[in-house]
Amino acid sequence: MELPDRAETRFPIEEYAARVEKFRDRLRAEDVDVYMGSLPEHMNYLTGFDPTSLYFFQKLFITTSSDRVVLLTHKCERELARVTSHLDDVRIWTHGEDAEQRALDLLRELGLPPGGTLGLELGSWYLKPATVRRIEAALPGVRIVDVTHIGQRLRMRKSPAEIRYMRQAAALADRGMRAAIENLRPGVREIDVHARIQHALAEAGSEYPALPTIIGSGPRSGLFHALPSDRVIEEGDPVMFEITGSKARYNSNIVRTLVAGTADDELRRLWDVVTGAFWAGFELCRPGTPVGEIDRATREARKGYEEFIPARAGFGMELAYPPVWLGMPDILEGVDTPLEPGMVFSLEPSVAMYRGMTVIFGFNILVTDDGAEILHSTPRDLFEVHAN
> Could you tell me the CATH number of the domain that includes residue 336?
3.90.230.10
| Whether the bond into 12 is cis, omega within 30 of 0 | no
User: How many independent structural domains does the chain possess?
Assistant: 2
Sequence-distant contacts of 5-10: CB under 8 A, at least 24 apart: 5/82, 5/83, 6/48, 6/82, 6/83, 6/84, 6/85, 6/86, 7/83, 8/50, 8/83, 8/84, 9/48, 9/83, 9/84, 9/85, 9/86, 10/48, 10/84, 10/161, 10/165, 10/248
In a domain, 349, yes or no: yes
Give percent of the chain above pLDDT 70: 100
pLDDT tens figures, 245-302: 999 999 999 999 999 999 999 999 999 999 999 999 999 999 999 999 999 999 999 9
| Cβ neighbours of residue 57 closer than 8 Å, sequence gap 6 or more | 72, 74, 93, 99, 100, 103
- Does residue 149 sit in the same domain as residue 169? no
- Does residue 181 sit in the same domain as residue 314? yes
What values do phi and psi take at 184, rounded to 5?
-80, 120
- Does residue 97 sit in the same domain as residue 143? yes
CA-closest candidate to residue 320, choices 72, 125, 177, 174: 125
Question: Confidence class of residue 1 from pLDDT cuts 50, 70 and 90?
Answer: confident
Question: Confidence class of residue 3 from pLDDT cuts 50, 70 and 90?
Answer: confident
Host domain of residue 325: 160-385
Is residue 216 within 8 A of residue 223, CB to CB? The reply is yes
- Does residue 288 sit in the same domain as residue 353? yes
- Does residue 329 sit in the same domain as residue 202? yes
Question: Confidence class of residue 2 from pLDDT cuts 50, 70 and 90?
Answer: confident
Average per-residue pLDDT for the chain: 97
Residue 388 has pLDDT above 80, yes or no: no
CA-closest candidate to residue 241, choices 261, 231, 227: 227
